């Protein structure tokens, strides 16, 4: 056991030296309070913005008490102090910030005493007792200062209005070692050397910035700890970490850990997942103790999150989040909205209704085992779901537990998914197409309690350190179970469940799933759905496309394959790599259609392109099967008329539809091929704003129950003002629907951005609406049809006005010899130049400037001035659909190339 570090010699408190970056000397203050250990007077140094607020004539609405950890000091909170004063000076809410240096730390008094956790909690309490705190108090803490802040919060419920934390921990799981860096710091012979004799512990902490801290900021953090006599508090703090249940501070830590469960105040957890000390397991523990918390994980941020990101702006936005919003607007709304008051039909209701049916439910055309295709009846699927649900419950998997499914499409995935839904577990679905890095980020962020996977997925989970107890899809031998860390298998759970009872059904408003986005516009985000929202999606698909019991459904897009049983549809996924839609062939589609007498086929644009390209290999029987298809759907990216013509030539009895949606809402609008033709040329669509060069893809009218508004773009290309339904106005597309997502998982800031300026909007369909800013740019026409013009981050702002990318891309795409086009902006926003990057037919052998004839034709067609026309062998696309052009990547590439960089592939 570590011996409690000895205190150093006494030293008086003092203000920090002048000239520390970002620190206003006027904020520094020395305050006396009672020493919790001795009862004598002790002097603190703290930052206090009270006087600065008074000079502004601003009355505080409350006080933020910010507690630093080890080995930092109140300098950690300088950005919060500055931001609160900036906002107060602009007429915003005035929050007073009080950030003390803990005793023996920073520039507070060195008493020579050794302080334990309980002492530090009482110390902060004694300080706040003597301070003139204005209004309610928000407790804020980081690192071990987070524990102290939580202790203060537990002891002062009458003053506490909110608890906000940056990376910290309040509980060490039994049987789990404390983080390796702390174990090293506590090792015999290391504690004193690393923390006191040398500044190694301090310097190691300062090396954790993302990006690296500047030399000036490092000097500021070192300022109170320049001599070994000043660093005794650092060693004392390390020694006070309760590494075992017998540690002197373990009882106090347990008291606080239990106390925060009962606080009942709003809480915000801001987290840097790259922290080698406080990993996501500590975030998960805090969420378990405070399940009402708002959470935001900053990808790429780490332990020094206060230096890595704008935590201060986020915190103040969070405190102001419930302020009044503008008046409501009407919206363009799809007909046939709502089924308010109708009886609930859970997602598994068709499984129950068809439990005695020997008819086909699923056809596995590419079983995981590599054996022959097999057919699964409704009775078998229903029984398997019930057995797995009961078995999972008997094995301790319960309502709210997160279950990550690393299972290829097929019967195992379908049965496991519906079994989890039935017991109220939350299924976590991340596309293998995200790649190892993206998939790891997604799984770790979702922090599943259980991972169900095939051997390959479980091997990845083990190798990459993904959380969760592991269940295999098949029975494994003892050696393989041990290597993969597998506790049981789906067959074993089914056998156990055959003799067990099902638990109660989850409620409609319980969380059902976390579905990850494609990652095509940034790190993949976890989208949270409740049971009611997934049920609404099922009902909309049934209404919109007539899919129901007995319908043959071929799904080349995994989410719709998983919805097949909910619809009662006979479902097959073609033999393909679902993470790479462009691998789908015409022969594979025909085989899937024949297997389930498919009437409805859902394919991505990239899949359609390859299906059309491989059509020459079809036999007469294949063509006969495809002729029975009545409906072909394609979504995920814009689909050209030529592609739709190509697929309907293979399926001559089918009507082609291109629904518009996103992971956050899988069906928002819909249009047929005939509807696209009727809409006319994209370049001919008028818009009201002459400063915006528009165009776009017509994606049709809102689906039943869906409402669409447009938040207009301003001269800087930002979506501003109240969303409205005026025709001809280009802006960000804002949608509402019963099947819209609940929110984003552990991304509070993203959630807020997605609902900005929508709190008071009331669609004409009435009811309690949820809205979502899609990030797509478009406009409504006079007939209520939605036109998509691109993504908001891809808008180009030139000296002559705003350019949305899809219109120029379409016009250049019509030039002979052009296969696809990506528009990119190069240069400072406001004076950007428009660049066209072209994929040609035949493909260019290497990147370069376009031939003069092609460049001239592209410039003539574009409708906007082009600074350059470049050709590439292949345009970069998104991961999931292989269809969305990665314009952000193109912009970075074009900027580099045109600045004289190497002409490599983008």
Q: Quote the distance between the C-alpha of residue 644 and its chain's center.
A: 32
- Higher pLDDT, residue 680 or 421: 421
CA 357/CA 378 separation, integer angstroms: 6
CA 862/CA 691 separation, integer angstroms: 16
Residue 732 pLDDT > 90, yes or no? Answer: yes
- How far is residue 454 from each of residues 158, 489, 679, measured CA to CA in Å? 52, 10, 47
- Residue 61: predicted pLDDT: 94
Range of lowest pLDDT (108-122, 147-161, 191-205, 395-409): 191-205
Which CATH architecture fits 25-177+250-319?
Answer: 3-Layer(aba) Sandwich (3.40)
Please state the rounded mean pLDDT for residues 818-846.
92
- Residue 605: predicted pLDDT: 81
Q: What is the torsional sign of CA 869, 870, 874, 875?
A: negative
Do residues 287 and 185 lie in contact, with contact meaning Cβ atoms separated by under 8 Å? no
Q: Cβ of 652: how many Cβ atoms within 10 Å?
A: 10
Q: Residue count of the chain, please give it.
A: 906
- Residue 334: predicted pLDDT: 72
- Higher pLDDT, residue 342 or 258: 258
Strand-pair category, 697-702 with 786-791: antiparallel
- Residue 2: predicted pLDDT: 44
Residue 251's contacts (CB-CB under 8 Å, 6 or more residues apart) are none
Can you tell me whether residue 880 is helix, strand or coil? Answer: coil
Q: What is the pLDDT of residues 761-811, one digit of tens each?
A: 754 444 456 899 999 999 999 999 999 999 999 999 999 999 999 999 989
Residue 443 pLDDT > 50, yes or no? Answer: yes
Please tell me the number of Cα atoms within 13 Å of 521 on its side-chain side.
14
- Residue 323: predicted pLDDT: 46
Residue with tokens 């520039």: 107
Residue 680 pLDDT > 90, yes or no? Answer: no
CA 445/CA 516 separation, integer angstroms: 11
State the span(s) of the chain assigned CATH 3.30.300.30.
796-898
Residue 338 pLDDT > 60, yes or no? Answer: no
CA 430/CA 404 separation, integer angstroms: 8
- pLDDT confidence bin for 685, thresholds 50/70/90: very low
Q: Distance between terminal CA atoms of the chain?
A: 56
CA 64/CA 279 separation, integer angstroms: 26
Please state the rounded mean pLDDT for residues 425-444.
77
Mean pLDDT (the chain) is 88
Residue 897 pLDDT > 70, yes or no? Answer: yes
- Higher pLDDT, residue 175 or 236: 236
Q: What is the 3-state secondary structure (H, E, C) of 432-466?
A: HHHHHHHHHHHHHHHCCCEEEECHHHHHHHHHHCC
Range of lowest pLDDT (162-166, 238-242, 635-639, 683-687): 683-687
- Residue 523: predicted pLDDT: 76
Please state the rounded mean pLDDT for residues 72-76.
98
- How far is residue 228 from each of residues 115, 195, 562, measured CA to CA in Å? 18, 9, 62
Residue 396 pLDDT > 90, yes or no? Answer: yes
Closest CA to 445 of 407, 402, 392, 406: 402
- Residue 524: predicted pLDDT: 81
- Residue 325: predicted pLDDT: 43
- Residue 767: predicted pLDDT: 43
Q: What is the pLDDT of residues 536-589, one digit of tens each?
A: 999 999 999 999 999 999 988 767 778 999 999 999 989 887 667 778 899 999
CA 100/CA 98 separation, integer angstroms: 6
- Residue 690: predicted pLDDT: 44
Do residues 206 and 216 lie in contact, with contact meaning Cβ atoms separated by under 8 Å? no
Task: Say which CATH topology domain 661-794 has.
Answer: Luciferase; domain 3 (2.30.38)
Q: What is the pLDDT of residues 300-334, one digit of tens each?
A: 999 999 999 999 999 999 999 854 444 455 667 67
- Residue 883: predicted pLDDT: 60
- Residue 351: predicted pLDDT: 96
CA 69/CA 241 separation, integer angstroms: 12
- Residue 757: predicted pLDDT: 80
Helix (H) / strand (E) containing 890: helix 887-898
- pLDDT confidence bin for 211, thresholds 50/70/90: very high
- How far is residue 474 from each of residues 369, 455, 490, measured CA to CA in Å? 10, 8, 6
Phi and psi at residue 699, to the nearest 5°: -110, 10
Which CATH architecture fits 349-573?
Answer: 3-Layer(aba) Sandwich (3.40)
Please state the rounded mean pLDDT for residues 162-174.
88
Q: What is the pLDDT of residues 693-713, one digit of tens each?
A: 557 889 999 999 999 999 999
Q: What is the pLDDT of residues 260-294, one digit of tens each?
A: 999 989 999 999 999 998 988 899 899 989 999 99
Residue 877 pLDDT > 80, yes or no? Answer: no
Please state the rounded mean pLDDT for residues 149-163.
96
State the span(s) of the chain assigned CATH 3.40.50.12780.
349-573
- Residue 521: predicted pLDDT: 61
Q: What is the pLDDT of residues 589-628, one digit of tens each?
A: 999 999 999 999 998 887 888 899 999 989 999 999 999 9
- Residue 322: predicted pLDDT: 55
Residue 881's contacts (CB-CB under 8 Å, 6 or more residues apart) are 518, 520, 581, 604, 605, 606, 636, 637
- Higher pLDDT, residue 239 or 385: 385
Which CATH architecture fits 796-898?
Answer: 2-Layer Sandwich (3.30)
Please tell me the number of Cα atoms within 13 Å of 874 on its side-chain side.
6
Structure tokens that stand for 529 in this block: 């759905």
DSSP 168: -
CA 301/CA 386 separation, integer angstroms: 42
Do residues 181 and 143 lie in contact, with contact meaning Cβ atoms separated by under 8 Å? no
- pLDDT confidence bin for 855, thresholds 50/70/90: very high
Query: Exposed, middle or buried by CB within 10 Å (0-12, 13-18, 19+), for 619?
Result: exposed
- Write 583-588 long-range contacts (CB < 8 A, 24+): 583/610, 584/556, 584/610, 584/611, 585/610, 585/611, 585/614, 585/617, 586/611, 586/612, 586/614, 586/615, 586/617, 586/618, 586/622, 586/650, 587/614, 587/617, 587/618, 587/619, 587/622, 588/365
- Residue 187: predicted pLDDT: 67
Phi and psi at residue 208, to the nearest 5°: -95, 10
Structure tokens that stand for 686 in this block: 């008028």
State the span(s) of the chain assigned CATH 2.30.38.10.
661-794
Residue 340 pLDDT > 60, yes or no? Answer: no
Q: Quote the distance between the C-alpha of residue 516 and its chain's center.
A: 7
């Amino acid at each position: 056991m570590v011996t409690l570090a000895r205190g150093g010699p006494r030293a008086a408190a003092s203000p920090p030296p002048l000239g520390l970056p970002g620190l206003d000397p006027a904020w520094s203050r020395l305050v006396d309070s009672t020493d919790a250990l001795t009862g004598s007077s002790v002097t603190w140094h703290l930052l206090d913005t009270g006087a600065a607020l008074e000079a502004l004539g601003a009355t505080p609405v409350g006080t933020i008490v910010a507690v630093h950890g080890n080995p930092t000091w109140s300098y950690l909170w300088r950005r919060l102090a500055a931001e609160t004063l900036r906002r107060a000076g602009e007429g915003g809410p005035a929050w007073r910030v009080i950030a003390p240096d803990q005793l023996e730390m920073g520039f507070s008094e060195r008493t020579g005493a050794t302080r334990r956790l309980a002492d530090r909690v009482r110390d902060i309490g004694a300080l706040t007792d003597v301070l003139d705190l204005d209004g309610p108090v928000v407790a804020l803490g980081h690192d071990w200062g987070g524990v102290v802040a939580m202790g203060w919060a537990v002891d002062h419920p009458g003053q506490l209005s909110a608890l906000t934390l940056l990376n910290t921990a309040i509980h060490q799981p039994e049987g789990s070692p404390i983080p390796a860096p702390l174990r090293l710091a506590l090792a015999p012979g290391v504690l004193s050397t690393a923390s006191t004799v040398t500044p190694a512990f301090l310097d190691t902490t300062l090396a954790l910035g993302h990006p690296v801290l500047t030399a000036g900021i490092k000097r500021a953090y070192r300022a109170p700890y320049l001599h070994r006599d000043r660093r005794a508090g650092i060693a004392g703090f390390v020694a006070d970490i309760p590494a075992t249940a017998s540690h002197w501070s373990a009882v106090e830590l347990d008291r606080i850990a239990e106390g925060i469960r009962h606080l009942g105040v709003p809480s915000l957890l801001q987290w840097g997942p790259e922290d080698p000390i406080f990993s996501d397991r500590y975030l998960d523990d805090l969420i378990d103790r405070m399940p009402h918390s708002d959470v935001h994980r900053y990808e790429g941020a780490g332990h020094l999150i206060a230096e890595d990101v704008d935590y201060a702006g986020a915190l103040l936005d969070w405190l102001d989040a419930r302020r009044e919003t503008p008046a409501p607007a009407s919206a363009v709304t799809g007909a046939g909205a709502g089924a308010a008051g109708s009886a609930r039909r859970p997602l598994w209701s068709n499984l129950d209704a068809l439990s005695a049916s020997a008819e086909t439910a699923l056809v596995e055309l590419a079983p995981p085992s590599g054996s022959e295709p097999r057919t699964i009846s409704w009775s078998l699927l229903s029984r398997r779901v019930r057995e797995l649900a009961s078995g999972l419950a008997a094995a301790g998997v319960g309502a709210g537990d997160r279950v990550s499914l690393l299972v290829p499409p097929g019967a195992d995935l379908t049965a496991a998914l519906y079994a989890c839904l039935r017991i109220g577990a939350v299924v976590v679905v991340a596309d293998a197409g995200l790649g190892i890095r993206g998939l790891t980020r997604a799984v770790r962020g979702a922090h599943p309690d259980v991972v169900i996977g095939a051997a390959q997925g479980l091997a990845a989970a083990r190798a990459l350190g993904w959380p969760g107890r592991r269940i295999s899809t098949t029975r494994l031998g003892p050696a393989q179970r041990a290597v993969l860390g597998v506790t049981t298998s789906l067959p074993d759970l089914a056998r156990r469940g055959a003799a067990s009872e099902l638990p109660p059904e989850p409620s409609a408003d319980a969380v059902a799933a976390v579905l990850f986005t494609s990652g095509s516009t940034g790190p993949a985000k976890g989208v949270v759905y409740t049971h009611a929202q997934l049920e609404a999606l099922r009902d909309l698909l049934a209404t919109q496309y007539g899919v129901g019991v007995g319908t043959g459904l071929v799904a080349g897009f995994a989410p719709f394959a998983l919805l097949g049983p909910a619809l009662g549809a006979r479902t097959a996924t073609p033999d393909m790599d679902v993470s790479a839609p462009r691998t789908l062939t015409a022969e594979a589609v025909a085989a899937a259609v024949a297997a389930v007498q498919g009437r409805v086929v859902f394919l991505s644009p990239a899949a359609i392109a390859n299906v059309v390209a491989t059509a020459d290999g079809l036999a007469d029987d294949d063509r006969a099967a495809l002729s029975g298809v009545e409906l072909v759907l394609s979504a995920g990216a814009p689909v050209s008329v030529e592609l739709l013509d190509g697929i309907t030539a293979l399926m001559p009895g089918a009507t082609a539809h291109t629904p518009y949606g996103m992971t956050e809402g899988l069906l928002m609008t819909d249009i047929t091929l005939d509807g696209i033709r009727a809409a006319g040329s994209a370049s001919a669509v008028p818009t009201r704003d002459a400063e915006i060069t528009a165009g776009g893809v017509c994606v049709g009218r809102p689906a039943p129950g869906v409402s669409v508004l447009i938040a207009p773009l301003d001269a800087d290309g930002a979506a501003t003002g109240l969303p409205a339904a005026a025709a001809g106005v280009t802006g960000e597309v804002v949608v509402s629907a019963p099947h819209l997502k609940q929110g984003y998982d552990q991304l509070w800031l993203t959630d807020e951005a997605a609902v900005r300026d929508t709190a008071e909007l009331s669609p004409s369909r009435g009811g309690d609406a949820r809205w979502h800013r899609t990030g797509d740019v478009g406009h409504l026409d006079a007939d209520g049809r939605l036109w998509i013009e691109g993504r908001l981050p891809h808008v180009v702002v030139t000296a002559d006005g705003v350019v949305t990318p899809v219109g120029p891309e379409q016009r250049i795409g019509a030039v002979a010899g052009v296969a696809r086009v990506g528009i990119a902006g190069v240069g400072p926003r406001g004076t950007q130049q428009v660049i066209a990057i072209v994929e040609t037919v035949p493909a260019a052998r290497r990147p370069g400037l376009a031939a003069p004839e092609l460049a001239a034709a592209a410039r003539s067609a574009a409708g906007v001035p082009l600074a350059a026309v470049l050709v590439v062998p292949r345009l970069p696309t998104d991961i999931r659909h292989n269809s969305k052009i990665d314009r952000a990547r193109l912009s970075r590439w074009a900027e580099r190339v045109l600045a004289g960089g190497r002409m490599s592939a983008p």
